[in-house]
Amino acid sequence: MIKLLRVDHRLLHGQVAFSWTQELGVDCILIANDGVMRDDIRKTTIKLAKPQGVKLVIKSIEDSIKALKSGVTDKYKLFIVVESIEDAYRLAKSYPEIKHINLGGTKPAENTKKISKAINITSNDEKMLNELISTGYEVEIRQVPNDKAVNYGEL
């Protein structure tokens, strides 16, 4: 069962590893990211941030979609973390059982606009988020579980 799909450019770090894992009561974290699969240093860093007693799986976006569709993840209370809105979009569109997306942090960059203290989006991100919302997805902005969730669709 997917408890949450979170967008966080830092992927797994203290805030995600501990506060969200405890709040959601998950027993498995899936890091879905193409870049991490090719970067042993990032992989090692992510593994160091894993909370004790929680399984950690790191897969590419495509392999994550295959795993979700195969049912192999059904036995877990799953927390999926991706690096970008595009990754979340790809997962959500390929696996319609995902209906809720949490925006936790995206990097400021050229051609982005700041929509909250930790969320910066491009015009392409905005199009993807609006499409998801128009087809029934819930998209919230919230860094930690104790923060008040802000509905992206109401911005």
Q: Output the average pLDDT for the chain.
A: 95
Backbone Cα Rg of the chain: 14
Q: What is the pLDDT of residues 49-60, one digit of tens each?
A: 999 999 999 999
User: CA 120 to CA 144: how far, in whole Å?
Assistant: 17
Q: What pLDDT, on the 0 to 100 scale, is given for residue 16? A: 76
Name 146's Cβ contacts closer than 8 Å, sequence gap at least 6: 19
Name 108's Cβ contacts closer than 8 Å, sequence gap at least 6: 114, 120
